[in-house]
Amino acid sequence: MNFLPQSKFLIVTLSLSLLAASCAHEKYQAKPLDPTQASAKLLSKNVTSADFKAYLIKQGYAEDQLPFAAWGLNELTWCALYHHPKLEVAKAQLALASASLKTAAQKQNPILGGHIAHSNQANGDIRPWAYGLNVEIPIETGNKRQIRVEEVQHLAEAARIDVADVAWQLRSQIAKDLLRYHQNMATADALKNELAIQTKLVDLLNKRLSLGAISSAELSAAKLRQQKAQFTFANEQAKLAEIRSNLATDVGLPVENFNGIALKPLNLDEALAKQSALLNIPDKSRDLQASALLNRLDIRHSLEKYAAAEAKIKLEVAKQTPDISLSPGFAFEFGDSIWSLGFSALLNLLNKNQTLIAEATRLREVEGAQFEALQARIIGDLGQSLASYQASLENAHGLKAQLEAQEQLTQKLQRQFDAGLIDRLDLTQNQLNTSLLEQQLLEAQFNSLHAALLVEDVMQRPLFDDFSMLTTMSADVHHE
């Protein structure tokens, strides 16, 4: 019986060792989703946890500032950045893009091959055995790997911008619902004042009816107005629970846990002055437009997508140069020792990759057209939001002038009442007129604040405070 020579054992041993090394891999770890556990996690979120406190300290808050006595827009935004599941989706997508970057940078693995054969020595072979080992080493040409990395880098940056964009969307929605909350509170107070005046009018008319000074129809009309004021006031109060529920959803907390949060009051005059100082100045729209067209998150995202399309074209152009594969080998064939060096490359005589180059070029044209369309939409949205702000501001100024005139009339009537020239019914009716005008002004002022938020939303960055959420968000993502 013939035995394999020692050299053959060496080749087989080397082959098996290389195969064993190449077969080493990470073990699969199952991670099934448990709906019950997931829902319990969502319902357990709260603002008193040690992890959330550590997160806020990381963002620059001192330990003695925590927990917050009252929550404003910035505090609620930090809460959303920590708790909201929508942001976790964007972060997971960013992690996927980062993993793709590592994959793109990897070199191709060599290929190990071998063979063994046995002859019946019918042709007088010296040995009956033939065996060999060869390695195929792929070599990328045309700088393809670096170009592929460049493409994925732009896509990863676009994914990072998507995280900041989601963070901005959360903050924007919180700002809108928080303003609705303050408007609801202010409107409810104004309606409560109106109801008190309507009730006083009904009481005065009741006395006059008992004296026969008015008809019952006049009293009935006053009672209807009182009932309408009562209904409007109750309806406004009922909205509060819905608004707080929306805010809880905005920040990613269960309603029960959010209801324990005290919200900061709104200084209406200060907010109006701050927004007017920024927006109500000549030629401000040009500065805002220039900033939006360069710095908006979706603008930056579109630029990264366009750059990725550029890299895609470079990659397809580079593929016109075929990759090379070297195949060194060593074999013993029926007693002879043979070494070899193979060489292979794709001959692109019929297809020089023009089709894929043309497809990548069309993709770049699509990204370019989308970028221009985005800029055009931004210009339109910004112009419309600024026009809406100016209109609401002018309306508020007009109503404020009317209210000032009404207050002068009130002072005049008060003097007449003190002199006995008019009765309390006339004075109370004037108070009602003042209350109704105050409600109109209040609505106009909040409309102005809402319009200013739309301008801020078009800019996709905070305009009326120094909250550096986007910068912090970017840094925070890189440390995840």
What pLDDT is recorded for position 429? 94
Element (H, E) at 137: strand 129-139
Joined together, the tokens standing for residue 323 give 């990759």
Q: How far apart are CA 340 and CA 338, in angstroms?
A: 7
CATH of 47-478, one of 1.10.10.10, 1.10.8.60, 1.20.1600.10, 3.40.1210.10: 1.20.1600.10
**What are φ and ψ of residue 141, in 5° steps?**
-110, 170
Assess contact for 296 and 455: CB atoms under 8 A. Answer: no
- Domain spans in the chain, listed from the N-terminal domain onward: 47-478
pTM assigned to the model: 0.84
Predicted pLDDT of residue 15:
54
Query: In this predicted model, what pLDDT tens digit does every residue of 10-41 receive, in sequence order?
Result: 555 555 555 555 555 678 788 887 787 777 77
Tell me how far apart the alpha carbons of residues 291 and 277 are, in angstroms, rounded to a whole number: 18
Cite the DSSP H helix spans in 108-143: none
- pLDDT value, residue 24: 55
> Which residues does the chain have with pLDDT short of 50?
1-4, 6, 470-480
C-alpha distances (whole Å) from 43 to each of 80, 156, 245, 258, 365 are 15, 32, 14, 11, 47
pLDDT at res. 17: 56
Find out whether 306 and 151 touch, Cβ atoms under 8 Å.
Answer: no
Q: Are 384 and 439 in contact (CB under 8 A)?
A: no
What 3-state DSSP class applies to 120?
coil
